[in-house]
A and B are shown apart, each in its own frame.
Chain A
């Protein structure tokens, strides 16, 4: 920045004028805007702008050689972004209607929040996604790895094993139907053991451990560059009790959200967070709302709310920049997260939720 004018690639006449006006270093020049410069040395606005750009470029490339960070200005055009978005992959949930309303599945480079009542399937969905992100590319997956940060202790490895086995079988069926070479090759490395080995599990017992883990995550991700999914199962739990200082909580949560957004972007992965529901006592009503307050609602780009309607589990896309708000039913089978099977046509035409006796039995063998 302290470069002498003499070392910059400027026309001699221009240089003479600059020296005459009292400028001696690049730094001094960059402090001046193009209009001011043009007035001082008597050149046109465009020439002044060009001069400054040349100097700025020179200084930036200096910084790059010295190991600075030239990409600190992250700009691109909407066209570039569109190309990126279209080429981007999704992590499928295996519930096709849910994937549809999400626009293909859980998006990379975004934070998706999953809120829901207890027992509705948030952890099940996280476990399903941690398996699905690993599906080989020839089957339509991302061949990625997963980081699973657990604050509630709900991760049960037996269940993940069930889900993973079902996923492998699903892929095997596809391979048999299509008989392509790369399918069989991929299946050699896509097995229960490999799936489990590529889920990196961290158990955080309180918010300090969670904060620490998120600080260390970028380094971990640089070492494990194939990770395409970070799941934080239970962002609410560590923050919900014993917080007398709510402003501290807000600050910490905001910081966490910022870090996760930059992690999602820098490493091109999907971040999913699960949140609890809390009771809001109104005048004569009490309703369940997502926990952690109103301001947390801004943290996630995409918000999915899982809830019950009598006996049916429903997923509502509550907030999304690109998809419409809608609700779909889903169910949880021994094999994981799945669509609801439509009732066979011989039964009542309207699938009535009020009459559970007409609800079809869930397919596939129960253990």
Chain B
């Protein structure tokens, strides 16, 4: 049994000797390749009796002993609440988008995975850069007073934009050069371009988080490396991809919970055909339409089969993230952020624009459409740029709607 997975900070790989089993017994077990708690618990009862040469009752006792060595500690829900209450600011990281914060009970939740997905150009990286600034702020201003780890797989991070957002969003705080420098120094950027290197980087994070006093981990984006390396049209690749993503999610959840920090991940979008198959959509070309006659090779697809855009990476990934925020186009100028999946918030939508200070909510305008309910967050349809264009009456040249738009 591969023990690679269990290297990552949990009790399962605890050696049996440290579980309190007698030396002689441990030696006997190791002769049968049973070395850790994990190995012990996976062997069948009869096999255990055979290997240890002990009676039924004694093997029961051994099982309990080993289980005690690696079972989780019990806490009551009340204990959990008290832990969060001690430091109310550290249960959520405020996004400074007031209506969004209110819906989400405070902001981006600590100790869980929040995914931000949407078409290119909607503002995912902008959101990540903005959150990076906010995390470094002192708690009195709603920040987490800590460093940020930013894993960039698309080389989209722009330090100039970071500074611009900081200066425009919090002009009263970032008054001196020194404050800006200190902020930029706390954001640790890692460029990873393959699945393997991303996984390795995540494995190394436990120590980084402790040594650098990190309070936010961002991966922008999870999808790009995965989609490059796994071609889901090929046999077996879908399972492998799911495995990889599940492993990644599991490690990130461990980090998020262990250190009570938020983890933000970005995702891309894909086309979902009404027959249920999803194909990797190439949305870079502006002439892109939903006419699927352009898409070749999709098994079983007919021409002009209706489809829509949804979050990429599939159904299992949708289970793995705790919160899903969808950014989509509303019209030429404005975009919309949807709370598609959240353990604390109902389905909600907010309009925003992207400006020098980052994302800005358009309060007062037709904010939430209260009669609009969400659906399965894995299949929530998204509006891409071209839908927005078609539905707008303007057919002239596009006015520049925002400042910088690096994506």
A interface with B by C-beta (< 8 Å): 117-120, 123-124, 130, 148, 152-154, 156-162, 193, 195-206, 208-209, 211-213, 215-216, 219-220, 237, 240-242, 244-245, 248, 251-252, 255, 276-279, 281, 283-288, 307-308, 310-312, 332-334, 356-359, 361-362, 366-367
Closest Cβ of chain B: how far from A126's Cβ, in Å?
11
Pairwise interchain contact B316-A196, C-beta atoms closer than 8 A: no
How long is the Cα–Cα vector from A260 to B246 in the complex, in angstroms?
Answer: 26
Closest B residue to A355 by CB, please name it: B371
How long is the Cα–Cα vector from A156 to B260 in the complex, in angstroms?
Answer: 13
> What are 10 sample pairs from A and B whose C-beta atoms fall under 8 A apart?
A201-B75, A201-B77, A203-B257, A212-B41, A212-B66, A242-B246, A285-B275, A285-B300, A308-B375, A357-B371
How long is the Cα–Cα vector from A359 to B372 in the complex, in angstroms?
Answer: 8
- Give which listed residue, A198, A240, A281, contacts B76 with CB less than 8 A: A198
Query: Quick one: given A119-B377, A196-B77, A286-B276, are A153 and B112 in contact (CB under 8 Å)?
Result: yes
Closest Cβ of chain B: how far from A124's Cβ, in Å?
8
4 shortest A-B CB distances, which residue pairs? A208-B12, A284-B300, A241-B246, A212-B67
Cβ contacts under 8 Å, B74 to chain A: 200-202, 220
Cβ contacts under 8 Å, A367 to chain B: 102
Cβ contacts under 8 Å, A117 to chain B: 315, 318, 376, 378-379
Query: Quick one: given A208-B41, A242-B247, are A200 and B76 in contact (CB under 8 Å)?
Result: yes
B1-21 interface mask toward A, CB cutoff 8 Å, 1 = contact, 0 = none? 110011000111000000000
Closest Cβ of chain A: how far from B87's Cβ, in Å?
14
Query: Quick one: given A193-B78, A196-B81, A204-B72, are A310 and B375 in contact (CB under 8 Å)?
Result: yes
Pairwise interchain contact A216-B71, C-beta atoms closer than 8 A: yes
Pairwise interchain contact A308-B376, C-beta atoms closer than 8 A: yes
- Is B341 positioned at the interface, with any CB of A under 8 Å from its CB? yes
A-contacting 9-mer, from B150-158, B176-184, B248-256: B248-256
Pairwise interchain contact B75-A311, C-beta atoms closer than 8 A: no
Closest Cβ of chain B: how far from A296's Cβ, in Å?
16
Q: B interface, how many residues as a size bin?
A: 35 or more
Pairwise interchain contact A153-B344, C-beta atoms closer than 8 A: no
- Give which listed residue, A118, A148, A213, A359, contacts B318 with CB less than 8 A: A118
- Is B322 positioned at the interface, with any CB of A under 8 Å from its CB? yes
How long is the Cα–Cα vector from A123 to B112 in the complex, in angstroms?
Answer: 14
Closest B residue to A362 by CB, please name it: B346
- Is B109 positioned at the interface, with any CB of A under 8 Å from its CB? yes
- Give which listed residue, A204, A219, A252, contacts B64 with CB less than 8 A: A219
B64-89 interface mask toward A, CB cutoff 8 Å, 1 = contact, 0 = none? 10111111111111111100100000
Cβ contacts under 8 Å, B41 to chain A: 208, 211-212, 215
B interface with A by C-beta (< 8 Å): 1-2, 5-6, 10-12, 37-38, 41-42, 44, 63-64, 66-81, 84, 91, 102, 105, 109, 111-112, 238, 242-243, 246-247, 250, 253-254, 256-257, 275-277, 299-300, 314-316, 318-320, 322, 324, 340-341, 343-344, 346, 370-379
Pairwise interchain contact B346-A209, C-beta atoms closer than 8 A: no
Cβ contacts under 8 Å, B109 to chain A: 156
Pairwise interchain contact B346-A332, C-beta atoms closer than 8 A: yes
Pairwise interchain contact A202-B12, C-beta atoms closer than 8 A: no
Query: Quick one: given A157-B80, A310-B375, are A278 and B315 in contact (CB under 8 Å)?
Result: yes
Pairwise interchain contact A161-B81, C-beta atoms closer than 8 A: yes
How long is the Cα–Cα vector from A356 to B374 in the complex, in angstroms?
Answer: 10
Pairwise interchain contact B373-A154, C-beta atoms closer than 8 A: no
Query: Quick one: given A118-B341, A212-B67, are A157 and B319 in contact (CB under 8 Å)?
Result: no
How long is the Cα–Cα vector from A102 to B43 in the complex, in angstroms?
Answer: 37
Pairwise interchain contact B12-A281, C-beta atoms closer than 8 A: no
Pairwise interchain contact B242-A197, C-beta atoms closer than 8 A: no
Main secondary structure of the interface of A (DSSP, over half): mixed
Contacts A237-B246, A245-B1 aside, 11 further interface pairs with beta carbons under 8 A come to A119-B340, A153-B253, A156-B343, A158-B81, A159-B343, A196-B78, A205-B254, A208-B41, A277-B315, A285-B300, A362-B346
- Give which listed residue, A278, A284, A358, contacts B316 with CB less than 8 A: A278
Pairwise interchain contact A276-B319, C-beta atoms closer than 8 A: yes
Cβ contacts under 8 Å, A208 to chain B: 6, 10-12, 37-38, 41-42, 70
Which of A206, A277, A356 neighbours the largest number of chain B CB atoms within 10 Å of its CB?
A206
Closest Cβ of chain A: how far from B375's Cβ, in Å?
5
Cβ contacts under 8 Å, A334 to chain B: 346
Query: Quick one: given A203-B72, A212-B41, A216-B68, are A120 and B78 in contact (CB under 8 Å)?
Result: no
Query: Quick one: given A212-B70, A285-B276, are A119 and B324 in contact (CB under 8 Å)?
Result: yes
Closest Cβ of chain A: how far from B255's Cβ, in Å?
11
Query: Quick one: given A159-B343, A204-B72, A205-B250, are A215 and B64 in contact (CB under 8 Å)?
Result: yes
Pairwise interchain contact A241-B318, C-beta atoms closer than 8 A: no
Pairwise interchain contact A154-B343, C-beta atoms closer than 8 A: yes
Pairwise interchain contact A209-B81, C-beta atoms closer than 8 A: no
How long is the Cα–Cα vector from A117 to B10 in the complex, in angstroms?
Answer: 28
Query: Quick one: given A208-B70, A219-B64, are A311 and B374 in contact (CB under 8 Å)?
Result: yes
Pairwise interchain contact B254-A199, C-beta atoms closer than 8 A: no
Closest B residue to A280 by CB, please name it: B276
Pairwise interchain contact B77-A197, C-beta atoms closer than 8 A: yes
Closest Cβ of chain A: how far from B217's Cβ, in Å?
15
- Give which listed residue, B76, B111, B372, contacts A201 with CB less than 8 A: B76
Query: Quick one: given A118-B376, A276-B316, are A197 and B275 in contact (CB under 8 Å)?
Result: no
Cβ contacts under 8 Å, A195 to chain B: 77
Closest Cβ of chain A: how far from B342's Cβ, in Å?
8
Closest Cβ of chain B: how far from A319's Cβ, in Å?
22
Cβ contacts under 8 Å, B315 to chain A: 117-118, 277-279, 288
Closest B residue to A148 by CB, please name it: B77
Cβ contacts under 8 Å, B254 to chain A: 205
